[in-house]
Structure 1
Amino acid sequence: MWRYFVGAGAALLLGVAAMFLFRGSAAQQPLVPRAPTAVAEPVEEEGLPQEAPSASARTREQKRFDRYDKDRNDAISRDEYLAPRKKAFAKLDTNGDGKLSFDEWAIKTTTKFAGADKDKSGALSRAEFLTTAPKPRKARPKCACPKPAAAAAGAAVDEPED
């Protein structure tokens, strides 16, 4: 029975000690950081423009229209509209006969199969099939914004010492 009283007393002492420690450490930290000691030089406003630069008001569709309109006559002809498709077709039509056979259409896949079939048996084993797995895509950054000048300088800002 006496063990319960000793345990309860020890827990009470630990609680009181923790309360004093937390209250003591909170009182030592200032609520507001000190002002920086170095003062930046004023920027001359003579060379600055009156207005901030802004992006053009062209919409996404206007930009897309301009990409198709190669001769810049504000009209997209049938040839201009089909030019990207013709380039893609020409890449696939390897023999240049103007017709697309199945083998020409599936050249990337058949080349991949032939490269994976190391023993040239015409069939892929499990080990050979593993080599055809698509490579994981790298995640693209969501923002390609330049770093702010202050963050890039790093050590240029004086930190207050404790």
Structure 2
Amino acid sequence: MNRIVLGAVGALALVALGLFWWQGRAEVEKGAPPPSSETLAADPMALPSADVSGMRGPTPPEASELTKEQQRFFRYDRNRDQRISRAEMLSTRTDGFRKLDKDGNNLLTFEEWAVTTVDRFEGADKDGDGELTQREFAATAPKPAPKKPACKC
């Protein structure tokens, strides 16, 4: 009985909230000034324009040139305190750990590791003889990341 009453009260509260929101939107739209008739008469699809000839915006920030080593350092230094903590260093490995942790308990057992390794071995062993040839082993190498364009123009 209490659930029915609470459900009805909740539904009424949501309806009342919707009505107040709807009336508020109507008041805002009613208070907006109408478009000028000369603008509509000339071209109803024209965009507004302004004279910006004397205005000047802020200058964009300068991009600093970082060496490859500095870029690699800042990839790990998440809080930019110029030091890499152990947690920051290990943070890049969490996705790989989560893929191995099948039951999601944040503990990697030997069985979880072994299943993943056996699956990888069996996927590479194309002829199914239980041994990897040089060609089969070469196929297990990680694929290089695709090259990203220099800019997204």
| TM-score, length basis structure 2 | 0.36
| TM-score, length basis structure 1 | 0.34
Greater helix fraction, Structure 1 or Structure 2 = 2
RCO comparison, higher one (Cα < 8 Å, 6+): 1
Structure index of larger Rg: 1
